[in-house]
């Protein structure tokens, strides 16, 4: 889930149960260390997340990654988890972890564009990988493009694990045969990239606060559709007012949930504990892609059960949308703007990320 923290009703409850089961299955599949002994006095690391515990991403951290860290460290490390903005809200998470208000926190780059300008590149692609390949993309970017860990280091944080989002879906109030139906309509998105994509594709982009007012605008006909990750649309019950859904795993969102740790805290950890965290993230990464694939399929099934008309786009359709969106022109304009603002390497870093994206996508 990205923008929404609302309850979902009966169908949403079944979805949460499915996601929790999927995460639990992933945890069971991870290797265990039978000889691990609980440390007498573990090092407690406080963790902050802006979302409530319940969706796939948060349950994966709680049920898979955090137990793996404790297990791999033989009990020397313990995660004290805090959810639903108990320590810091979404837009305050970077400041909280960089100043040690929390030892660890989920940081969403989109919410901190000023502090993390290069991280905005991720959302600038209209198409991209999903599932395990999406995980591979982000891991390669951080391993091969030094500018990204360096940007985090400037903010006194170290990346530990990349959690990712679900693909984009288009929720329309009227039947829409294909994405050409965007033309002439009023469409809402939160991303500045997507607003430009919609405009170039012939739609009128709309900026609105995320909440019940979107549902009301769709119902009233003052908004024709919503471009959003499929799970956020489902959680807000957008399909009840905009039941015509076009979706594809190839429709890239690029939304990143970075598990980060305060750099000073990281530097105080013994090397064996740093190594334990690395082993835990490695095994968790192997489980993440399949869990995301299963839960994506479950979301589409529940949308159909709820009465929505769902069509999975043919492979060529997202590519045509990217062409209509003129995303390369949008990227180039952004890079020039960043250069004028003082981020002189934006163009070069964009080229590096593009090369990795092209390689992943084949």
pLDDT digits (tens, 9 = 90+) for 204-252: 999 998 888 999 999 999 999 999 999 888 888 999 999 999 999 999 9
pLDDT of 308 > 50? The answer is yes
**Cα–chain center distance at 197:** 19
- Output the pTM of the full model: 0.86
- pLDDT tens, 254-295? 999 999 999 999 999 999 999 999 999 999 999 998 888 888
Residue 49, CB half-sphere, CA atoms under 13 Å: how many? 24
DSSP string, 78-133: EEEEE-TTSS--GGGHHHHHHTTSSSEEEE-GGGGTTT-SGGGGGGG-SB---HHH
pLDDT of 17 > 90? The answer is no
Predicted pLDDT at 26: 52
- pLDDT tens, 158-172? 999 998 888 999 999
Strand ranges for 177-298 from DSSP E = 186-188, 204-206, 225-229, 244-247, 256-262
């Amino acid at each position: 889930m990205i923008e929404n923290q609302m309850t979902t009703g009966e169908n949403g409850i079944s979805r949460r149960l499915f996601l929790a089961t999927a995460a639990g299955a992933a945890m069971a599949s991870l290797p265990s260390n039978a000889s691990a002994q609980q440390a007498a006095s573990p090092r407690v690391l406080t963790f902050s997340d802006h979302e409530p515990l319940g969706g796939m991403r948060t349950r994966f951290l709680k049920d898979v990654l955090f137990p793996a860290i404790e297990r791999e460290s033989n009990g020397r490390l313990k995660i004290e988890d805090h959810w639903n903005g108990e320590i810091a809200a979404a837009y305050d998470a970077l400041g909280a972890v960089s100043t040690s208000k929390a030892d660890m926190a989920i940081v969403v780059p989109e919410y901190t564009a000023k502090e993390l300008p290069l991280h905005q590149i991720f959302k600038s692609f209209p198409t991209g990988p999903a599932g395990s390949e999406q995980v591979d993309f982000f891991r390669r970017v951080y391993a091969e493009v030094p500018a990204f860990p360096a940007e985090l280091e400037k903010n006194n944080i170290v990346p530990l694990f990349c959690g990712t989002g679900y693909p984009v879906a288009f929720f329309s109030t009227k039947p829409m045969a294909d994405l050409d139906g965007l033309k002439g309509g009023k469409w809402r998105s939160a991303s500045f990239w997507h607003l430009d994509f919609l405009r170039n594709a012939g739609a009128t982009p709309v900026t609105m606060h995320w909440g019940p007012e979107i549902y009301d605008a769709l119902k009233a006909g003052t908004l024709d559709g919503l471009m959003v990750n499929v799970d956020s649309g489902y959680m807000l019950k957008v399909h009840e007012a905009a039941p015509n859904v076009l979706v594809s795993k190839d429709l890239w969102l690029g939304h990143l949930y970075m598990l980060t740790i305060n750099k000073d805290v990281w530097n105080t950890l013994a090397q064996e504990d740093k190594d334990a965290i690395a082993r835990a993230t490695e095994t968790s990464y192997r489980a993440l892609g399949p869990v995301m694939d299963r839960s994506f399929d479950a979301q589409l099934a529940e949308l159909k059960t709820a009465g929505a008309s769902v069509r999975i786009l043919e492979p060529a359709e997202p590519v045509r949308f990217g062409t209509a969106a003129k995303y390369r022109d949008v990227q180039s304009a952004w890079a020039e703007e960043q250069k004028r603002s003082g981020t002189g390497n934006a163009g070069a870093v964009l080229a590096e990320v593009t090369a990795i994206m092209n390689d992943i996508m084949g």
